[in-house]
Amino acid sequence: MEVLLRELREGPDGIPEYHDTQISAAVVTIGSAADQRLQLLGKSIAAHHASIRQSGSQLELTCRAGKVRVNGELQGSAKLVIGDVIEIGSHQLQLVQPPVGFDAALELRPDKNIDASAFEGAFRTDLLQTWMGKRPTAWMAIGLILIVGLALPLAAVMMHRADRAVPAMMPGDALWSSGPLSAAHRQAIGDRCNVCHQTLFQRVTNESCGSCHQSIHDHVRPEHLALTQLDRTQRCATCHREHNEPETYLVNSGDGECLACHQNSNHTFGSLDVAPVEGFGGAGHPEFKARLLKPHAPDANASTMLQWLAERASIDAAVEQSNLKFSHAQHLDTDRVRRGGDGEQLDCADCHRLQSNGEHFEPITMEANCSSCHELTFDPSAPDRQLPHGKPRDVVLTLQDYFTRKIIDPDAARATWDQRRLPASADSLQPCNASAFACAMRSALAETENQFTRHGCIGCHTVVDTQSKVLADRFQVVPIRLARDYFPAARFDHRSHESQGKLTGGAACLSCHKAADSRESSDLLLPPVATCESCHSDRPLAERVTTSCVTCHAFHPQGSKPNQDAN
């Protein structure tokens, strides 16, 4: 439509004059914004306030914001007729008779008193007028957080519990994780938090752990727990801290939890013999108690039929009862013993061979450790003949066989036999005029007695002379049992102790184990706690290596779980 806009303005000389403008547009927009066809200023005028368009033969006014007065009445929209006066803010707009060639004519009488502040209002000059808002942003952010951080993870929890798959893209309860799972748990559990976190707001229970870790012992075995006033042992999670970074901290190896119970054990441990411990490195650790084997003969008439009973004893007072006769001092004395081959002093490792676990040693046996020096020869003229070890009856039979054969063998050198050294047995040197068999038996008897009572077996073993008429049964050797693990509940790494400062090899061993002064096998060569504490401490100190309780002590008892023994 063609609209003539006649504007009453103040001319250059202050005289009001009309300005005519022709508008060719379908809609005449009215508002304070710069892009409006009819720009009217004022506080009460919106950027896009109203518009006038042709509707049939009439003009129609529509308000987009607020209302306008048409002929004095507030209206949101109106059909206009010639002569209508529209008040927008303080401006007046009148519909007048259009001249020829125009569809409509509008006469505008702007309010001359509109000041500059109204002009300013036409522009958006403050961030408040933009889309940015504090509250909408806040509500949106809060909504988003509650949905992503709470609602969706809760839904994932429900789905996990219902054993339904959670879509990969959905933010699940992994968002609640306070840190990465350790690798083994991640592999076994994945993102199914409910495997451990079974009840919301409840700490992870030992039962959750035990559902997988079925072979792990509780710290206190049930039969021991019954002797104490403790109602239960610790939560697994007291020491095993998941979601830690780095995951090497999965086990809390600090002493605090141990000392919480063991520092003052008298109150809680009932009849269990648990010594209180203050720490390590000061005077806080009790002396070591070794597990020793004690021989016990149930039948007094059969003193070599032994049972070995384990007993724990403080090492400062305990003695070994292995029944072996052995002097470490003698074996380390170069005036008396030198190694075969190079003639050097014997080294600890020549006999004590460390097992691959680094803690224990291969068992000491006659065959592996003694026989290379201590041959069981009995006849210098037959250095290749040795007595069988470990079977006294066979020793007698072997000697009888040997001498029988030797006497009746025409090729044997009798002279050598007669001149052999037979200590302490003067009559054996005398010629034998009896039958060959009787002579052989006499020689066998002499040598048997020599082996079991003077030289040979008696050197290392305790021998019981039963005075039996049957020579094969007369001498009984008391069995030997060497302890292999003095501290079954503790850990010790010999390998990491093979160097002690500048000491290596046997010297390093002797720095803890006082073997060079030990003349009796009853000597317990275990170092006292003070020896450990000369290098180790429970706190970082100069020239001390820090150790914690669990460095040596296993929290979980070794072996199979009691309730599984029945299976």
Partner 1 sequence: MIHRGLLRYQGARYLWWALGVIAASVAVYLSQDSATQPPNGGTWQGYVLGTLGALLVAWLGLLAIRKRSYRSTAGTVQGWTSAHVYLGSALLIVATLHCGVQFGWNIHTFAYALMCIVIFSGFFGLYSYVRHPQLIASNREGGARSELFAELFELDQQTRVLAQRCAAGVAIAVGSSIERTTIGGGVSSQLFGNDRSFFIRGDGATSAVARNTDQQPVIDFVAARLPRAEKGAEAANLQQLIVFLCRRQTVLRRIRRDIRLRAWLKIWLYFHIPMTAALVIALVLHIVVTFMYW
Member of 193, 293, 387, 552 binding partner 1 (CB under 8 A) = 193
CA dist 21 and 39 (Å) reads 13
Does 260 engage in binding with partner 1 (CB under 8 A)?
A: no
By CB under 8 A, the residues from 524 to 543 that bind partner 1 are 540
Both tokens assigned to 291: 């597990």
Q: How far apart are CA 275 and CA 313, in angstroms?
A: 13
Q: What is the dihedral of CA 205, 211, 214, 217, to 10 degrees?
A: 10
Q: For residues 253 and 453, which CB has a smaller minimum distance to partner 1 in the complex?
A: 253
- Interatomic CA distance for residues 299 and 182, integer angstroms: 57
- Tokens 């290379």 correspond to 372
Distance CA 528, CA 345 (A): 26
Count CA within 13 A, CB hemisphere, residue 284: 17
CB 163, min distance to partner 1, A: 19
Least distance in angstroms from the C-beta of 223 to partner 1? 31
Stretches 56-64, 125-133, 298-306, 333-341: which one binds partner 1 (CB under 8 A)? Answer: 125-133
Which span (50-58, 126-134, 267-275, 381-389) binds partner 1, by CB under 8 A? 126-134
Under the criterion CB under 8 A, does residue 132 sit at the interface with partner 1?
Answer: yes
**Interatomic CA distance for residues 529 and 283, integer angstroms:** 10
State the nearest-atom distance from the C-beta of 12 to partner 1, in Å.
5
66 vs 46: CA distance, rounded Å: 8
301-340: contacts with partner 1 (CB under 8 A)? none
3-state secondary structure of 414: helix
* Cis geometry, peptide bond prior to residue 246 (ω within 30 degrees of 0): yes
204 is an interface residue for partner 1 by CB under 8 A: yes
Tokens standing for 481? 């049992």
Tokens of 89: 């803010």
Query: With respect to partner 1, which residue has the nearer C-beta, 132 or 415?
Result: 132
d(CA 551, CA 548) in angstroms, rounded, equals 5
Which residue number, 136 or 282, has a Cβ lying nearer to partner 1? Answer: 136
Of the candidate residues 58, 65, 183, 249, the single one contacting partner 1 (CB under 8 A): 249
Does 271 bind partner 1 (CB under 8 A)? Our answer is: no
Residue 384 contacts partner 1 per CB under 8 A: no
Nearer to partner 1, 114 or 512 (CB): 114
Q: Is 55 helix (H, G, I), strand (E, B) or coil?
A: strand
- The residues, ordered by sequence, that sit 6+ positions from 154 with a Cβ below 8 Å of its Cβ are 173
Q: CA distances (Å), 391 to each of 160, 299, 396, 478, 479, in order?
A: 68, 21, 9, 11, 11
The number of beta carbons lying within 10 Å of the beta carbon of residue 350 is 16
178 part of the interface to partner 1, by CB under 8 A = yes
Which listed range, 98-106, 182-190, 192-200, 296-304, lies at the site for partner 1 (CB under 8 A)?
192-200
Q: Does 252 bind partner 1 (CB under 8 A)?
A: yes
Distance, in Å, from the CA atom of 63 to the CA atom of 29, rounded to the nearest integer, reads: 10
- Considering only 2, 20, 73, 120, the residue that binds partner 1 (CB under 8 A) is 120
Candidate list 56, 126, 300, 383; residue touching partner 1; CB under 8 A: 126
- Beta pairing partners, 85: 94
The answer to whether 422 contacts partner 1 (rule: CB under 8 A) is no
| Contact flag: residue 207 with partner 1 (CB under 8 A) | no
Does the protein bind partner 1 through residue 245 (CB under 8 A)?
Answer: yes
Which of 76, 83, 167, 179 is the binder for partner 1 (CB under 8 A)? Answer: 179
Reported as type and span, the H/E element at residue 350 is helix 348-351
Q: Does 91 bind partner 1 (CB under 8 A)?
A: no
Kindly write out the interface string for residues 18-37 of this chain, putting x where it contacts partner 1 by CB under 8 A and - elsewhere: ----------------x---
> Using the rule CB under 8 A, is 150 a contact of partner 1?
yes
Least CB distance from residue 175 to partner 1, whole Å? 5
Q: ω before 276 within 30° of 0 (cis)?
A: no
Nearer to partner 1, 281 or 392 (CB): 281
**Of the candidates 106, 201, 193, 109, the residue with the CA atom closest to the CA atom of residue 157:** 193
Does position 159 interact with partner 1 (CB under 8 A)? The reply is no
Contacts to partner 1 by CB under 8 A: 11-12, 34, 39, 115-117, 119-120, 123-127, 129-135, 137-142, 145-146, 149-150, 173-180, 193, 197, 200-204, 241, 243-246, 249, 252-256, 540, 546, 548
